[in-house]
């Protein structure tokens, strides 16, 4: 469909009137946002329908990305961009006296994810559509996304994220495609015609209603689908039986209990929540998703044993791993396949992405909870386990190995093991991470199934993270190397020839300064706080977690503060340290770290002696839309996790793509960023993988040694508990205890000296602007390697076996 400015203007006015009986002068910004979005959706509908028709007519292999989280952010800007009508729309609205940028700001973020894992899923959706892969998302339509963070008196306060309260213009409710998901009850085997079947009775039936959102490819004809499931009671809002017996509250209670399944996203991405409701969420969307996939498949009239030739399912971490057993249930119980054939098909359909090796994040469910909620699924996992254990025993003749690899063991169902055994591909998300999986965490499984293991380093969509969020940089790039990089981001490498070009370096600097000024203006108008755009913007934005070591960052700031106090003429480039981070509501140490950051910010603000040289800003409510604002303005990218703990990281890639210089440990994808840009264009510090693993194996680390021998550390740690930060001495005693008495699990004290040196090096490098700008250009040039388009093509080729 070709739309020109005049058509759009006419359509927009008509839409505003149709929706709200309003004209431009009387409509609120939200109504204008909603009208233009509704129009954009109209414009994409035909392509959406045609994509679906094309997929079924041509019997194309479909990929489904199963994920508990999709951290999408806003859609109006990216949809306009991908449809190729953003500039035209901006002009058309301007002619009507409307500022498109203002309308973009009105959209509520779709925050259905915690952090990296959910954002990866969103980048993959954008890339699958843009590369032209028939790939769809399957997840949960949470009524409440990740909480909104407020900072009150330096502490985090959580506010429910009621993102649907003004409606969601992008989704289509498809009640006709609802399916029933069954929980609990009893399962009894019955013998019928020489075949065992399983009778499921007294279950709780929940209606799963899909809401579809179009995922628009970049300037192509592909529109894929993100299908999110919502839980509802069947047929009736009230249980009229109970109602008529006068048990009104009981009836309403049932309704709320069902709805609670899709009510809220669990706000912790690193520790498993052993709640029944969480398992219920998992089975709910997995069962609904699979039922709808099978139903669509059957419309093609293909034999069920060819399922894997037409359907591929990627499970994003272990959260959807129960899909393996659910597909077995459908194939064996409903499609009447023999076990072996069903298992062969299932493993050929499924593949699993591992996202973490943190022990506290490895999902396992107590057998009793599992069995009670999912009786038939438990039986199936039991059968998978028994057959697998026999194979392991046959191979090694060693019961210890069987014990270590069993899916069900020591009272638990281990979801990662189920995911490995039940799929044909197991991938880590960065080279280093995959190596660690093979060598240590999953070494027994690697030995048993070497062919299943592979690496797929994460990526990010350059459309959102450069083209959309940093238009000034995108324009500058296009002016110099042409526009091919937009379709083929690897072509950013052509910027290399400009890295020493003085004129281009100046332009790069101008863009960065303009973005910094723009961010400062935004921050000033929103919070009334002045930020110096001539200071170095040093940015650590990511979830708050001990392993990501925001504490290490704070310790450098305190050390710098003391150095400035001791030597007021210390020659440093003024620096603004930005933190953006949500802490899981139940994660006490993380919340205390937020309080510490804000305490140090106040300490510095209230001290004339250091004012103007350093400043700390805590960015409230870090989210996708805030990331899009701060990342283009960043000079320094903080990627300082304890080596081996960050599986990949994707924030590191976004910042690199926007010209920030990375200060990093050799962890996750930082290693690959280093390999791309070379040692001269990144600042590396800290322990290496082998060193960390040695310390952990021998338990030979003693944090107190470092406290005793480094007077800087002594001063900082003492300040936590001696009142010198201007808060009661008890405020940070638990952080103090965690680092000393409890021996500093993530080696903050150990890496401190090396980090300070690296930070000093950053200061030196920045003073040499020629060098700094050259580094920045080299980083942008190599960032195309981290485009999720590349990543997704590798998934398609190696895992989903899609030839393109
Ligand atoms: C990219 C992104 C993340 C992941 O950041 P890491 O530094 O890789 O942990 C988290 N939250 C948001 C909002 C993001 O955009």
Query: Could you tell me the distance, in angstroms and rounded to a whole number, from the CA of residue 650 to the centre of ligand 1?
Result: 6
* Length of the chain in terms of residues written: 804
- Contact 459/121 with Cβ under 8 angstroms? no
Q: Which atom of ligand 1 is nearest to the CA of 627?
A: 15
Query: Could you tell me the distance, in angstroms and rounded to a whole number, from the CA of residue 542 to the centre of ligand 1?
Result: 5
- Selection from 578, 669, 641 nearest residue 615 by Cα: 578
Q: Which atom of ligand 1 is nearest to the CA of 541?
A: 7
Distance CA 629, CA 523 (A): 10
Alpha carbon separation from 738 to 235, 597, 687, 714, 717 (Å, rounded)? 53, 17, 20, 15, 11
The residue whose CA is least distant from atom 1 of ligand 1 is 651
Distance CA 264, CA 789 (A): 31
Query: Could you tell me the distance, in angstroms and rounded to a whole number, from the CA of residue 757 to the centre of ligand 1?
Result: 26
Residue with tokens 């981290």: 786
Q: Which atom of ligand 1 is nearest to the CA of 654?
A: 1
- Three-point CA angle 316, 319, 323, nearest 5°: 85
Q: Which atom of ligand 1 is nearest to the CA of 649?
A: 8
Distance CA 622, CA 543 (A): 9
What integer pLDDT is reported at residue 679 of this predicted model? 98
Quickly list H helices, 260-338.
276-298, 307-310, 323-329
DSSP state of 468: I
What integer pLDDT is reported at residue 665 of this predicted model? 98
Low-confidence ranges of the chain (pLDDT < 70): 1, 236-246, 804
Residue 608: exposure state from Cβ atoms within 10 A (0-12, 13-18, ≥19): exposed
Query: Could you tell me the distance, in angstroms and rounded to a whole number, from the CA of residue 72 to the centre of ligand 1?
Result: 12
What integer pLDDT is reported at residue 51 of this predicted model? 97
Mutate which of 149, 542, 584 for ligand 1? The one with the most ligand atoms within 8 Å of its CB, which is 542
The residue whose CA is least distant from atom 11 of ligand 1 is 115
Mutate which of 69, 113, 116, 146 for ligand 1? The one with the most ligand atoms within 8 Å of its CB, which is 116
Number of C-beta neighbours around residue 403 at 10 A = 12
The residue whose CA is least distant from atom 8 of ligand 1 is 649
Q: Which atom of ligand 1 is nearest to the CA of 639?
A: 7
Mutate which of 114, 115, 550 for ligand 1? The one with the most ligand atoms within 8 Å of its CB, which is 115
- Selection from 629, 464, 576 nearest residue 86 by Cα: 464
Distance CA 181, CA 202 (A): 13
What integer pLDDT is reported at residue 494 of this predicted model? 98
The residue whose CA is least distant from atom 15 of ligand 1 is 624
Mutate which of 545, 638, 642, 650 for ligand 1? The one with the most ligand atoms within 8 Å of its CB, which is 650
Query: Could you tell me the distance, in angstroms and rounded to a whole number, from the CA of residue 651 to the centre of ligand 1?
Result: 5
- Contact 604/561 with Cβ under 8 angstroms? yes
Q: Which atom of ligand 1 is nearest to the CA of 460?
A: 1
- Contact 502/545 with Cβ under 8 angstroms? no
- Identify the H or E element spanning 517: helix 502-527
Number of C-beta neighbours around residue 683 at 10 A = 22
- Contact 658/628 with Cβ under 8 angstroms? no
Distance CA 469, CA 462 (A): 9
Residue ranges of the chain that CATH labels 3.40.50.2000: 59-74+109-360+421-441, 462-692+751-786
The residue whose CA is least distant from atom 7 of ligand 1 is 651
Q: What is the largest CA-CA distance in the chain?
A: 91
Pick the CATH number of 462-692+751-786 from 1.10.540.10, 3.30.300.30, 3.90.1150.10, 3.40.50.2000: 3.40.50.2000
- Contact 12/5 with Cβ under 8 angstroms? no
- Identify the H or E element spanning 111: strand 110-112
- Selection from 800, 802, 798 nearest residue 314 by Cα: 800
Do strands 311-316 and 412-414 pair parallel, antiparallel, or not at all (unpaired)?
Answer: unpaired
Please state the separation of Cα 491 from the chain's center in Å.
Answer: 26
The residue whose CA is least distant from atom 4 of ligand 1 is 116
Q: What is the dihedral of CA 361, 363, 369, 372, to 10 degrees?
A: 150
**Ligand 1 environment, Cβ below 6 A:** 115-116, 119, 542-543, 622-624, 627, 649-651, 654
Mutate which of 651, 657, 668 for ligand 1? The one with the most ligand atoms within 8 Å of its CB, which is 651
What integer pLDDT is reported at residue 748 of this predicted model? 98
Query: Could you tell me the distance, in angstroms and rounded to a whole number, from the CA of residue 110 to the centre of ligand 1?
Result: 14
Q: Which atom of ligand 1 is nearest to the CA of 622?
A: 13
As a 3-state breakdown, the chain gives helix, strand, coil percent values, each rounded to 5, of 55, 15, 30
Q: Which atom of ligand 1 is nearest to the CA of 648?
A: 8
Token pair belonging to 251: 């009836």
- Identify the H or E element spanning 382: helix 375-396
- Contact 186/201 with Cβ under 8 angstroms? yes
Query: Could you tell me the distance, in angstroms and rounded to a whole number, from the CA of residue 634 to the centre of ligand 1?
Result: 14
Token pair belonging to 712: 């800087």
Distance CA 463, CA 476 (A): 15
The residue whose CA is least distant from atom 5 of ligand 1 is 651
Do strands 575-580 and 408-409 pair parallel, antiparallel, or not at all (unpaired)?
Answer: unpaired
Number of C-beta neighbours around residue 196 at 10 A = 10
Query: Could you tell me the distance, in angstroms and rounded to a whole number, from the CA of residue 179 to the centre of ligand 1?
Result: 34
Distance CA 417, CA 402 (A): 12
The residue whose CA is least distant from atom 6 of ligand 1 is 651
Mutate which of 627, 628, 641 for ligand 1? The one with the most ligand atoms within 8 Å of its CB, which is 627
DSSP state of 397: -
Query: Could you tell me the distance, in angstroms and rounded to a whole number, from the CA of residue 395 to the centre of ligand 1?
Result: 42
Query: Could you tell me the distance, in angstroms and rounded to a whole number, from the CA of residue 93 to the centre of ligand 1?
Result: 32
- Active-site amino acid positions: 355, 542-543, 548, 650, 654
Please state the separation of Cα 767 from the chain's center in Å.
Answer: 35
- Selection from 597, 572, 604, 581 nearest residue 756 by Cα: 572
What letters, b where the CB count within 10 A reaches 16 and e where it falls short, cover 163-194? bbeeebbbbeeeeebbbebebebebeeeeeee
Query: Could you tell me the distance, in angstroms and rounded to a whole number, from the CA of residue 574 to the centre of ligand 1?
Result: 26
Query: Could you tell me the distance, in angstroms and rounded to a whole number, from the CA of residue 142 to the centre of ligand 1?
Result: 20
Q: Which atom of ligand 1 is nearest to the CA of 626?
A: 13
Token pair belonging to 88: 């035209």
The residue whose CA is least distant from atom 10 of ligand 1 is 115
Strand partners, 578: 539, 617
Token pair belonging to 259: 């709805």
- Contact 664/790 with Cβ under 8 angstroms? no
Could you tell me if residue 612 is left (phi over 0), alpha (psi between -120 and 50 degrees) or otherwise beta?
left
Token pair belonging to 477: 């790039």
Domain at 59-74+109-360+421-441: CATH architecture? 3-Layer(aba) Sandwich (3.40)
């Amino acid at each position: 469909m070709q739309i020109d400015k005049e058509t759009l203007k006419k359509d927009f006015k008509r839409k505003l009137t149709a929706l709200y009986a309003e004209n431009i002068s009387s409509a609120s910004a939200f109504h204008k946002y909603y009208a233009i979005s509704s129009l954009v959706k109209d414009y994409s509908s035909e392509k959406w329908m045609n994509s679906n028709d094309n997929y079924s007519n041509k019997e194309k292999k479909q990929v489904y990305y199963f994920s508990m989280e999709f951290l999408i952010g806003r859609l109006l800007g990216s949809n306009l961009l991908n449809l190729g009508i953003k500039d035209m729309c901006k002009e058309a609205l301007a002619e009507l006296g409307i500022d498109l940028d203002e309308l973009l700001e009105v959209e509520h973020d779709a925050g259905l994810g915690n952090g990296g894992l959910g954002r990866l899923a969103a980048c993959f959706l954008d890339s699958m559509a843009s590369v032209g892969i028939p790939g769809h998302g399957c997840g949960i339509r949470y009524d409440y996304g990740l909480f909104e963070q407020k900072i009150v008196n330096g502490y985090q306060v959580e506010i429910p994220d009621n993102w649907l309260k003004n409606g969601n213009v992008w989704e289509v409710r498809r009640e006709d495609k609802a399916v029933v998901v069954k929980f609990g009850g009893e399962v009894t085997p019955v013998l019928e015609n020489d075949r065992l079947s399983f009778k499921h009775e007294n279950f709780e039936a929940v209606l799963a209603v899909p809401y579809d959102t179009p995922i628009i490819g970049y300037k192509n004809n592909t529109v894929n689908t993100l299908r999110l499931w919502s839980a509802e009671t069947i047929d009736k809002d009230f249980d009229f039986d109970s109602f008529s017996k006068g048990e009104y509250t009981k009836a309403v209670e049932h309704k709320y209990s069902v709805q609670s399944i899709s009510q809220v996203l669990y706000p912790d991405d690193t520790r498993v929540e052993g709640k029944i409701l969480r398992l219920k969420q998992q089975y709910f969307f997995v069962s609904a998703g699979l039922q709808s996939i099978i139903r669509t498949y059957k419309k093609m009239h293909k034999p069920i044993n060819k399922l894997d030739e037409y359907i591929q399912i990627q499970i994003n971490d272990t959260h959807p791993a129960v899909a393996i057993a659910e597909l077995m249930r459908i194939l064996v119980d409903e499609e009447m396949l023999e076990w072996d054939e069903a298992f062969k098909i299932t493993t050929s359909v499924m593949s699993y992405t591992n996202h973490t090796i943190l022990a506290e994040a490895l999902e396992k469910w107590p057998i009793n909870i599992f069995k009670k909620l999912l009786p038939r699924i438990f039986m199936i996992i039991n059968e998978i386990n028994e057959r697998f254990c026999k194979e392991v025993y046959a191979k090694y003749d060693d019961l210890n190995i069987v014990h270590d690899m069993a899916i069900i063991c020591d009272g638990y169902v281990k979801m990662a093991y189920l995911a490995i055994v039940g799929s044909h591909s197991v991938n880590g998300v960065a080279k280093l991470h995959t190596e660690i999986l093979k060598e240590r965490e999953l070494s027994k499984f690697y030995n048993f199934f070497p062919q299943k293991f592979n690496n797929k380093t994460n990526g990010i969509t350059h459309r959102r993270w450069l083209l959309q969020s940093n238009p000034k940089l995108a324009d500058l790039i296009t002016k110099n190397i042409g526009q091919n990089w937009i379709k083929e981001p690897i072509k950013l490498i052509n910027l290399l020839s400009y890295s020493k070009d003085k004129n281009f370096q100046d332009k790069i600097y101008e863009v960065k300064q303009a973005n910094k000024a723009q961010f400062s203006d935004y921050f000033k108008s929103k919070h009334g706080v002045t930020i110096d755009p001539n200071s170095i913007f040093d940015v650590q934005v990511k979830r708050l977690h001990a392993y990501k070591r925001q504490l290490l960052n704070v310790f450098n700031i305190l050390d710098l503060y003391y150095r400035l106090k001791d030597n007021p003429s210390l020659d440093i480039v003024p620096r603004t340290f930005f933190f953006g981070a949500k802490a899981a509501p139940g994660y006490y140490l993380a919340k205390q770290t937020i309080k510490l950051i804000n305490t140090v910010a106040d300490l510095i603000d209230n001290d004339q002696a250091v004012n103007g040289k350093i400043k700390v800003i805590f960015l409230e409510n870090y989210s996708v839309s805030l990331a899009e604002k701060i990342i283009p303005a960043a000079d320094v990218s903080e990627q300082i996790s304890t080596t081996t703990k960050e599986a990949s990281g994707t924030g590191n890639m976004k910042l690199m793509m926007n010209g920030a210089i990375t200060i990093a440990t050799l962890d996750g994808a930082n290693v690959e960023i280093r390999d791309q840009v070379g040692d001269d264009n990144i600042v590396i510090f800290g322990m290496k993988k082998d060193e960390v693993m040695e310390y952990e194996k021998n338990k030979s680390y003693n944090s107190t040694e470092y406290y005793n021998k480094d007077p800087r550390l002594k001063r900082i740690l003492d300040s936590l508990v001696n009142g010198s930060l201007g808060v009661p001495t008890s405020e940070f005693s638990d952080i103090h205890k965690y680092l000393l008495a409890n021996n500093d699990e993530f080696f903050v004290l150990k890496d401190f000296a090396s980090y300070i040196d690296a930070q000093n090096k950053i200061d030196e490098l920045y003073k040499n602007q020629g060098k700094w700008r050259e580094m920045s250009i080299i980083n942008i040039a190599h960032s195309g390697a981290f485009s999720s388009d590349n990543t997704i093509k590798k998934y398609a080729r190696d895992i989903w076996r899609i030839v393109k």
